[in-house]
């Protein structure tokens, strides 16, 4: 703004010169701003790639030594750091089993809760209830673990595990998925699965509730006008309509269950032995890393753990891709259907 | 829609013979299912109250002022506190916010205004992936990136690991909030000749600020409760005391930078890390203290969350 005045003056005063410089710099701040924003955007991308690359690079000896046998299914004692034997199957099994339990239990519950929050509960109750469910998601996982060890395991998991072991486990014969007995402390894959269930319910519920809230009212009205009951409307119209969104929510919850570390480490019993049963103590990929990495006996051991982290990273990456495609399909489809 | 019509035609025979029959059944199912949803909602909230009440009851037994002001004492000696963990948590949270917020906000400005460019799409995808990376993997990454080359565990490494964990949330919430600011505000400022970066700082950012700060609070609350990324980065250090470091530095007539370097360069503890370690020990005394640590941690995390969320509710309902 000062420019025209100062240009007429052959010898501008110091103040004017400073002002001119500042205004010049201000205009050219855009260049810096652009570089900064683009630069930071690139940094985020680089970060994502760097995680994968560094894990890949730092597990080179383990990868060269074991190859695909690192992921081989089955075997007796697969993980023996003292003798340099590493096969991460027991941990992959532990992760898959505990996540599967949590998904099987959490998905129906979360969908029901989301239905209640979005469709049924009075409006004044919706906000406080949603808030409580979200607070459940905010509790740190170590706190879940602490509560799990001292309260949840003895009070719920041990009796429940004994019940399963004595009925299903006894019927199916030796060495099956439900073979008991559960340890006195209750530490087992079942315990980890149940804790994970509690932890992922809020995640799945929150997203599913938003999916229900986003469904156009015309869908409900049309169904109700045809004489369907409220439940039939929910079951036959709203759930099919929001299915992709709900699937996205499930995948989000699954991602959380797969990666959850602390609570699982605290209740799963930490046992590298390859056993089948739900009621036995085990390990998940994340809990074996948490428990052994700091005390790795040698370079190969820590490399094997880094490779386990790499496997976990790739699994979550694939899940994210699937979720992304699902969400993309929903966001592409919904406007058209809303118009139709 | 088609499913309903087909199910009606399937059942039409019975309905035709006795309309009341099928109707009653449908009504009963309706009531049962609707009640079930309410019951399950209550069931899901049971753990929340169970956890909170237990932590309150068991944790408050050891909650004394000295618990906040003293370092842990050796086992067998009564008293002692978790000052090291409180200071460590504050330090780590501060560091992670420092590392995560400026890059996150800048990247969010890019993605908010360039959603369709290849870089914008890639960054959005990258943010999604990054937010899905398990925290333990980020811990390993922090170890390989900083701890291994440096040769020792440090607060700095812990702060970086937590920052990586926070950044996706910060980008996403900031981006959403920037997008909510009316385009006309920005255009108005640009039309008046304001450079883009001043427009962003003085027009867009203030307009979106309350929402952005909510996002900061939620991600900070999450980071302050995380343990897994710190296991192999910050490691833990039950003799950590910032006050002592500063006093020692002043006595040695060190410069501020040296003192700061000393603080950042050594392993630190945090509340969740201490909680985890105490539960792994077979001493009842430590376990009792773990409940108190849990109480402090929960107080910190839940209060931050509650404030942020209630603020959002108030703000959105007043609009």
- pLDDT at position B252 is 87
> Half-sphere exposure of A252 toward its Cβ, with a 13 Å CA cutoff?
21
Mean pLDDT of B161-168: 95
CB atoms within 10 A of CB B119: 15
B6-62 per-position pLDDT tens digit: 444 444 444 444 545 678 888 899 999 999 999 999 999 999 999 999 999 999 988
Indicate yes or no: CB of A120 within 8 angstroms of CB of B136. Answer: no
CB atoms within 10 A of CB B268: 31
What confidence category does residue B3 fall into, taking pLDDT thresholds of 50, 70 and 90? Answer: very low
Indicate yes or no: CB of B144 within 8 angstroms of CB of A141. Answer: no
How far apart CA A272 and CA A283 sit, in angstroms, is 6
Question: Contact A300/A317 with Cβ under 8 angstroms?
Answer: no
CB atoms within 10 A of CB A10: 5
A67-121 per-position pLDDT tens digit: 888 888 875 557 888 888 888 888 999 999 999 999 999 999 999 999 999 999 9
Residue A157, pLDDT > 70, answer yes
DSSP code at position A81: G
Mean pLDDT of B149-177: 94
CB proximity A91 to B under 8 Å: no
A15-25 per-position pLDDT tens digit: 888 887 777 76
Considering only alpha carbons, which residue of chain B is nearest residue A55?
Answer: B141
Give me the count of residues in chain A: 340
Which of B303, B266, B263, B272 lies closest to B290, judged by CA?
B272
A35-64 per-position pLDDT tens digit: 999 999 999 999 999 999 999 999 999 999
Q: What's the pTM value of the predicted model, to 2 decimals?
A: 0.89
How far apart CA B297 and CA A304 sit, in angstroms, is 33
Closest chain B C-alpha to A147 CA, distance in angstroms: 6
Question: Contact A190/A101 with Cβ under 8 angstroms?
Answer: yes
- pLDDT at position A110 is 96
A183-225 per-position pLDDT tens digit: 888 999 999 999 999 999 999 999 999 999 999 999 999 999 9
How far apart CA A198 and CA A186 sit, in angstroms, is 17
B243-258 per-position pLDDT tens digit: 888 888 889 888 888 8
Mean pLDDT of B117-121: 92
- pLDDT at position A3 is 47
- DSSP run (H or E) holding A160: helix A158-164
What confidence category does residue A334 fall into, taking pLDDT thresholds of 50, 70 and 90? Answer: low
Bridge partner list, B235: B268
Q: Which chain B residues have a beta carbon less than 8 Å from that of A131? A: 306, 309-310, 313
Using CB atoms, pick whichever of A30, A135, A266 lies closest to residue B48.
A135
Q: What is the biggest distance separating any 2 CA atoms in chain A, rounded to whole angstroms?
A: 102
Give the whole-number percent of chain A exceeding pLDDT 70: 91
- B312 Cβ neighbours under 8 A, 6+ residues apart: B211, B214
Start-to-end Cα distance in chain A? 54
Using CB atoms, pick whichever of A144, A228, A312 lies closest to residue B134.
A312
Tokens of A167: 């009925």
Interface size between A and B, measured as CB pairs under 8 A: 267
- pLDDT at position B21 is 60
DSSP code at position B235: B
Indicate yes or no: CB of B141 within 8 angstroms of CB of A143. Answer: no
How far apart CA A48 and CA A44 sit, in angstroms, is 6
Considering only alpha carbons, which residue of chain A is nearest residue B280?
Answer: A266
- Chain position carrying tokens 């609070």: B217
- A188 Cβ neighbours under 8 A, 6+ residues apart: A157, A161, A182, A268, A269, A278, A279, A280, A281, A282
ipTM: 0.89
B200-214 per-position pLDDT tens digit: 989 999 999 988 999
φ/ψ of residue B272, rounded to 5: -65, -35
φ/ψ of residue A80, rounded to 5: -135, 85
Which DSSP string corresponds to A131-151?
A: HHHHHHHHS-HHHHHHHIIII
A269-323 per-position pLDDT tens digit: 998 888 888 899 999 999 999 999 988 888 999 999 999 999 999 999 998 888 8
Start-to-end Cα distance in chain B? 36
- pLDDT at position A338 is 44
Considering only alpha carbons, which residue of chain A is nearest residue B110?
Answer: A37
Q: Exposure string (b/e) for A174-210, b if CB count within 10 Å is 16 or more?
A: eeeebbbebbebbbbbbbbbbbbbbbbbbbbbbbbbb
- pLDDT at position A77 is 58
Question: Contact B122/A46 with Cβ under 8 angstroms?
Answer: no
Tokens of A264: 């699982």
- pLDDT at position B276 is 94
Question: Contact B44/B200 with Cβ under 8 angstroms?
Answer: no
What confidence category does residue B171 fall into, taking pLDDT thresholds of 50, 70 and 90? Answer: very high
Which of A286, A244, A238, A293 lies closest to A266, judged by CA?
A286
CB atoms within 10 A of CB B180: 11
Q: What is the 3-state secondary structure (H, E, C) of A249-264?
A: HHHHHHHHHHHCCHHH
In whole angstroms, how far apart are CA B93 and each of A101, B87, B137, B244?
A: 34, 10, 19, 20
How far apart CA B27 and CA B33 sit, in angstroms, is 10
Q: Which chain B residues have a beta carbon less than 8 Å from that of A27? A: 195
Instruction: For helices B83-113 and B284-318, give the axis angle rounded to 10 degrees.
Output: 30
CB atoms within 10 A of CB A4: 7
φ/ψ of residue B270, rounded to 5: -140, 165
DSSP code at position B234: T
Going along chain B from its start, the domains and CATH numbers come out as 86-184+193-271 (1.10.3720.10)
């Amino acid at each position: 703004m000062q420019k025209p005045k100062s240009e007429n003056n052959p010898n501008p005063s110091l103040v004017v010169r400073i002002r001119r410089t500042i205004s010049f710099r201000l205009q050219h701040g855009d260049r810096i701003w652009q570089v900064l924003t683009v630069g930071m955007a690139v940094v985020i991308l680089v970060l994502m790639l760097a995680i994968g690359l560094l894990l890949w690079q730092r597990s080179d000896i383990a990868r060269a030594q074991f190859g695909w046998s690192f992921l081989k299914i089955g075997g007796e004692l697969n993980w023996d750091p003292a003798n340099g034997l590493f096969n991460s199957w027991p941990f992959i099994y532990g992760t898959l089993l505990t996540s599967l339990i949590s998904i099987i239990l959490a998905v129906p519950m979360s969908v029901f809760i989301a239905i209640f929050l979005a469709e049924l509960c009075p409006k004044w109750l919706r906000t406080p209830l949603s808030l409580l469910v979200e607070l459940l998601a905010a509790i740190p996982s170590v706190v879940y673990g602490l509560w799990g060890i001292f309260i949840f395991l003895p009070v719920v998991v041990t009796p429940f595990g004994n019940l399963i072991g004595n009925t299903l486990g006894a019927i199916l014969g030796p060495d099956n998925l439900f073979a008991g007995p559960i340890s006195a402390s209750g530490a087992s894959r079942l315990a980890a699965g149940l804790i994970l269930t509690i932890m992922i319910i809020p995640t799945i519920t929150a997203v599913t509730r938003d999916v229900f809230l986003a469904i156009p009212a015309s869908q409900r009205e049309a169904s109700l006008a045809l004489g369907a009951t409220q439940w039939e409307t929910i079951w036959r119209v709203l759930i099919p309509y929001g299915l992709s969104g709900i699937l996205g929510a499930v995948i989000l919850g699954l991602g959380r269950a797969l990666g959850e570390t602390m609570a699982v480490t605290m209740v799963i019993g930490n046992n590298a032995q390859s056993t089948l049963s739900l009621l036995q103590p085990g390990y998940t990929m994340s809990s074996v890393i948490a428990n052994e990495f700091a005390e790795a006996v040698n370079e190969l051991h820590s490399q094997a753990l880094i490779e386990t982290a790499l496997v976990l990273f790739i699994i979550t990456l694939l899940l994210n891709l699937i979720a992304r495609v699902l969400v993309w399909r929903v966001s592409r489809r919904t406007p058209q259907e809303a118009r139709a | 829609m088609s499913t309903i019509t087909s199910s009606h035609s399937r059942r039409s025979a019975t309905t035709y013979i006795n309309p009341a029959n099928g109707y009653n059944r449908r009504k009963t199912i309706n009531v049962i299912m609707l009640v079930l949803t309410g019951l399950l909602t209550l069931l899901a909230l049971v753990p929340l109250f169970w956890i909170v009440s237990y932590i309150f009851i068991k944790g408050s037994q050891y909650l004394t002022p000295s618990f906040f002001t003293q370092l842990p004492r050796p086992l067998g000696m009564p008293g002692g506190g978790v000052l090291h963990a409180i200071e460590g948590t504050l330090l780590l949270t501060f560091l992670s916010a420092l590392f995560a917020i400026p890059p996150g906000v800048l990247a969010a400005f890019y993605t908010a205004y360039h959603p369709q460019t290849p870089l914008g799409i890639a960054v959005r995808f990258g943010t999604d992936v990054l937010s899905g990376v398990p925290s333990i993997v980020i811990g390993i990454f922090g170890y390989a990136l900083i701890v291994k080359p440096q040769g020792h565990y440090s607060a700095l490494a812990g702060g970086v690991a937590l920052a990586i964990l926070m950044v996706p949330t910060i980008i996403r919430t900031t981006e959403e909030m920037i997008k909510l600011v009316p385009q006309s505000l920005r255009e108005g400022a640009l039309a008046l000749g304001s450079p883009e970066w001043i427009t962003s700082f003085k027009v867009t950012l203030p307009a979106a600020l309350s929402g952005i700060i909510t996002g900061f609070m939620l991600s900070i609350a999450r980071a302050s409760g995380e343990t897994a990324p710190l296991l192999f980065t910050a490691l833990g250090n039950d003799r950590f005391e910032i006050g002592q470091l500063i006093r020692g530095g002043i006595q040695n007539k060190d410069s501020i930078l040296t003192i700061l370097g000393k603080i950042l360069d050594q392993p630190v503890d945090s509340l969740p890390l201490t909680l985890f370690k105490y539960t792994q020990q077979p001493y009842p005394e430590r376990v009792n203290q773990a409940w108190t640590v849990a109480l402090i941690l929960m107080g910190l995390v839940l209060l931050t969350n509650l404030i942020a969320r209630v603020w959002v509710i108030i703000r959105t309902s007043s609009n």
